[in-house]
Amino acid sequence: MTYTPAMRRRKRRRNIIVFILVGAISAAAYGITRAQGEAEVTRTYLDVAYQVATGQESAARSFNEMITDIEQFTRPRMVQTLDGIEAGSDELATLLAEGNPPADMERAHLWLQMAITAWRNGLSDARAGLLSLASNPTDIDGSGAQALTGGLIDLRLGDRAYQGFLSEVSDVDTTILGGPFPSVVFVPASSEELFDPVALARRMFLTPDLAPVDDLAVADLRLEPGPVGSSGGIPVVPVSASQSLEVTITNRGNEVHEAVVVTLLLVSTDGEQYAATSEIESLAGGAARAVAFTDLPVRPGTLYQVTVSIPSGDDEADNDSITYRFEMNEQT
């Protein structure tokens, strides 16, 4: 087939139109894909920011309740509350650090980062100050009061930085998040007097349950097999293939004790001695733990004295050890 000049011109025009249409469609598709990508980035970041904000709202509420009702707290409850708030804030800071804000939310992200950093610093110092003042509430000019004062300043800085974040996202549609970003205030202006370090020290002075109590005790001792009779007032245990002993260690205080070493000393009337140790990794206030010593080297017809002890130096030295005498029955 022979193309005339007119036919060639019509074919070129058709090709040009096709190219234009293909280009327009490609550009539109690219624009839609890019817009969808940017929307997804924004949506993902908002999810992270919202999770951080709601987590900090819960932390601020717990902190406020503790300060407001400090008279109702015991020391273990106060420590548990502070530890929980700090641990949660650390997790939220890690989550935010992994967030990827879109370009139009970088300022908001910066404000939120500043708030998180100030809150974490403030909580760390406030925790140290509160525990120190609870231990010695009359030391209102000491390091505890200074740490609490500095911590409250940082918490207020975090509150203000978060207000900057809220201003940046005030026009953002948060419908997909389930609602607007929450208010987060660790130190509310309406309760300013309750957060004054001197006032807090006075309130803690009137709350003896906040003071530390350090009292580990050897509470009970039991032989296995146990005594089946007595001789001259001395318990007599039967001859057995294996003699063991179980002792209960109780933390009667309100401070956690780590690495508690329990020592056993077994002495016979023949002058023979046997020593053994066991370690309790951690013992919380009010908790108790049984410790077993097995295969004690005892012989029939012999009188023994066993002493189990824990490190001394706590508030009550009289219960740091227990001594028990027993005799193993004669071999029959």
Dmax over CA atoms of the chain, in Å, equals 135
Return the structure tokens found at 321: 């050890």
Minimum mean pLDDT range among 123-127, 209-213, 270-274: 209-213
pLDDT tens sequence across 116-161? 999 999 999 999 999 999 988 888 888 889 999 999 999 999 999 9
Residues ≥6 apart with Cβ < 8 Å to 48: 95, 96, 98, 99
Which domains are present in the chain? 5-210 (no CATH), 216-328 (2.60.40.10)
Q: How confident is the model at residue 318 (pLDDT cuts 50, 70, 90)?
A: confident
What kind and span of H or E run contains 245? strand 244-251
Q: What is the pLDDT of residue 279?
A: 95
Q: What is the pLDDT of residue 211?
A: 87
Distance CA 323, CA 261 (A): 17
